[in-house]
Chain A
Amino acid sequence: MTTQPVTILLAEDDDGHAQLVQRNLERAGLLNGLLRVHDGQELLDCLNSRGSSHQQTLDEALVILMDINMPRIDGVEALRQIKANPNTHRIPVIMLTTTDDPREIDRCYELGCNVYVTKPVEYEGFIDAIRRLGLFLQIVQRPRNGQN
C-alpha cells in the first residue's frame, strides 16, 4: 500500500455548501487535506502559486471540487482555464452545482470535467462520486482521527 497525500481543493462561495461538502467527505472517510477557496479567481491564484513550486506539483496529488456559480470567475470559466493550462490540465475536476440544466452539464464535460454532481437532490450520489473518484485515484485512506 502506497501512501500518497492527496489534497482536495474546494472552490465554493456559499459557506453552508462548503461546510456540507467538508462534513460529508469526513463522514465518507476521505480525510485528505481540504483547502477551501471562495471563487474561481481565488482557485486559479491558488493553482498558480502551487504551480510556481515544481516540487509540490510533482509530489502532491490534487483533486478539485468546484461550484459553477461563483463570483468574479465562475466555475465554467475556471474549468476552461484549468484544462487549457498544461500545468493543471491533468488535475481531476468534479463540478458541483445546484442546476441540472443539460446544456450546462454538456458544456462542462466538453471542457474536460471528470465528474458532474448535482446538489442537493443527489446527495448520496455526490458522496458516492467522491468515493469512486478516490478509488480511481488509488487514494490511500488515512484512518480517521479518534477512530481505530
Chain B
Amino acid sequence: MKPRRITILRKGLFLLALPLVYQALFIGVLLKRQHDLTEAQRWAMHTKDVIVKTEYIFRLLTGTQSDTRAYLLTGEERFAEDIALDERILSEEFPALRTMIRDNPRQEERFQKVLSSAQVRLDYQRTIMETMRKQGRERAQDEVKKLKGRELTQALRHAIEEFHAAEEKLDAARLEQLRVSTIYQDWLLVGGLIVNVGIGAVAAIMFSREIAGRIEVVTQNTRRIANGKTLPPLVAGSDEIRELDEQFHLLADHLKSARLREHVYQEALERRATELTRANRDLEQKNDEIEMFVYSVSHDLRSPLVNLQGFGRELNFSREELQKLLDGELSAADRDRAREVADRDMTESVRFIQTAVTRLSNIIDALLRLSRAGRIEYHPKMIDLKAIVQRIVEAMRGTINARGADVVIQNLPEVWGDPAAIEQIFANLIGNAVNYLDPKRPGKVEIGRIERAVEGMEKPLTIFVRDNGLGIAPNHLCKVFAIFQRLHGNLIAGEGVGLALVRRMVERHGGKVWVESEEGVGSTFFAAFPADAQHSPLPMVAPRKERINVTVSHA
C-alpha cells in the first residue's frame, strides 16, 4: 500500500486554516473580553446607583430628624405626618437598596446595621410622638432632652456613612478595574493584530518553502533538462511536487541515455560516412580507371582493326589492279607491274594483316590475364621475399648479362601473400627495370626495403625496385599503371599490361604501388604490403588442427 501522503491540497488547506483558526480563537477571546468589560461597566453603574440611592435615603432620614424637632416645637400634626416618611423609607426604599447590594455580603452586613439603626431611630421617634400625644409636650421634650434621639441619629448617620464610604470604595475599585480592562483590551487588540500578521508571515514562509520554493526548484529542473544539464538531488517531501520532480529526474535519465545513444549512433554514422566517402572516392577512382581502361582498350583494339580494314582494302586494290592487268594483253611492263603488286604490295598487306591479327590476339590474351589476376584464388602464407627475388634474378640472368647490368638484392622481409602473385609482381618490376635500362650507361638495379608512411596503411612493408634507366617523363607518370600504356614505344616487345597486372595484384594483397622517376636518371617503383596477416584482406586459411587449437585456447 502506498504510504499516506501529505498532498499539496492538505498543505494549502493547512496554510489557509492556520490564520482562520487563529482569527476565530482571537475573536472568541475578544468577545469574552468585551462581555467582561460590559459587565464591569454595568457593575460600575450599579455602584453609582447604590451610592445615589444611599445619599437619597440619608437625606430623607436627615429630613425626618428635623421634622421631629419641628413637631416637638410646634406640635403641629403636619410635621408628624412627615415622620411617617421614615416608615415609608424603611418599608420601600430600604428593600430596594437591599436588592441592589445583594451581591455583596459585607455591604449587606453594613446595610443591616443601617437598617437596624434606622429601625431603632424610628421606634424612638414613634415613642416621642406617642409621648407627646399622650403625656404632653413637656414629657416629650424631657425625653428629647435626654438626647437619645440625637445619639440614635448619630448612630444611623454613622452607619450610613460607613455604608456609603464602603460603596464609594467599591466604586473606585470598580472604576479602576474598568480602566485596566479597557487598557488590557486595547493591548489585546494590538497584540492580536501583531500575532495575526505573524501567523500570516509564517504561512507565507511555509508556502514559500513548502510549495513555491520547491516548485521553483522543479521549474529550474525542467530548464536544466532542456539545457541538458545534470539535475540536483530530489526535492524533499512526499507530495505531488516531489512526484513531479521524480518524474522529471526519470525524464532526465531517459534523455541522458537517449543522448548517449544518439552520440553513439552519431559517431557510428560519422564513421560510416567517412568510410562511405572513402569508398566513394575509391569507387570514383576505380570508375575513372575503368573509363580510362575502356578508352585504352578500345583504342588499342581499333589500332589493329584499322590495319585489318585498311590492308583488306589494299589487297582489294591490288586484286583489282592485277585483274585489270590480266584482262589485257600482258606487256613486259605490265608483267613487271603485276609482279611488283604481288611481291611488294600484297605481301606487305598480308604481313600487316597478320601482325594486326597477332596484336589483337595478344590484346585479348592480356585482357584475359588481367581478368584472371582479379579472379584467381590466392593461397596466402608467409613468403621469404628474398628467396623469390633471387630466383627471379637468376631466371633473368641471360638478359641481365646481355645488358651488362648490375643487380643488387638487399635484405628483404617476409611478406604475407600468394607466392605465385608475389613472384609475378616482382618479375614484372625487375623485368621492367632491366628492360628499360639506358644503353648509354652501365645499368644498375637495386631491390630493397624502405620505411615509408602510406595513406590508409598501418606499418606497411614497403619494397622498392630502383633502376638508373631511361626514366619516365612527368606527364606520363600518372599513366604507367594504366593498361596498354607503352611509354617507350616499340622499344621492348609487350602489350603494356605488366604494370596494370602488378597494380591489380598488389591491391588484392591490400597494398599499394607507386613510382617515382626522373627522365634520363631512372625510376623507383614501390610496392607496399600489409605488415602481417591481421592487416591483410586475404583470408587466413589455417590448417584444421591449428583452428581447433585456437578454439580451445579461447574456451
Contacts and interface: CB of A to CB of B under 8 A. Distances in A.
A99 B490 contact: no
B311 interface: yes
Given A69-B299, A123-B313, A17 B489 contact: no
Interface residues of B, number: 27
Contacts of A101: 295
Interface stretch (A3-11, A19-27, A28-36, A128-136): A19-27
Interface in A116-134: 119-120, 123
Interface in B350-380: 352, 355-356
Contacts of A77: 475
Given A14-B303, A16-B310, A123-B313, A71 B489 contact: yes
Contacts of B310: 16-17, 20, 119-120, 123
Interface in B30-71: none
A20 B313 CA distance: 10
Interface residues on A, range: 20 to 34
B488 interface: yes
A interface SS class: loop
A71 B487 contact: yes
Given A98-B303, A99-B302, A16 B489 contact: no
A18 B306 CA distance: 11
A52 to B, nearest CB: 23
A89 interface: no
Nearest to B519: A72
A16 to B, nearest CB: 4
Nearest to A71: B489
B486 interface: yes
Given A38-B489, A71-B489, A72-B473, A17 B303 contact: yes
A85 B65 CA distance: 174
Interface in A17-63: 17, 19-20, 23, 27, 38-39
A71 B488 contact: yes
A59 to B, nearest CB: 32
Given A23-B314, A72-B473, A77-B475, A119 B487 contact: no
A119 B311 CA distance: 13
B489 A72 contact: yes
B229 to A, nearest CB: 60
Given A16-B307, A20-B306, A98 B299 contact: yes
A122 to B, nearest CB: 11
A23 B349 CA distance: 11
Interface string B290-310: 000001001100111111011
A38 to B, nearest CB: 6
Contacts of A120: 302, 305-306, 309-310
B317 interface: yes
A13 B306 contact: no
A123 B295 CA distance: 21
Contacts of B488: 71-72
Contacts of A72: 473, 487-489
Given A17-B303, A69-B299, A99-B295, 8 more contacts: A19-B348, A20-B314, A23-B314, A39-B489, A72-B488, A98-B303, A119-B306, A123-B309
13 contacts: A13-B490, A14-B303, A14-B307, A16-B304, A16-B307, A69-B299, A72-B487, A98-B299, A98-B302, A99-B298, A120-B302, A120-B305, A120-B306
Interface of A: 13-17, 19-20, 23, 27, 38-39, 69, 71-72, 77, 98-99, 101, 119-120, 123
Nearest 8 CB-CB pairings of A with B: A16-B307, A98-B302, A71-B489, A20-B310, A120-B306, A16-B352, A120-B309, A119-B306
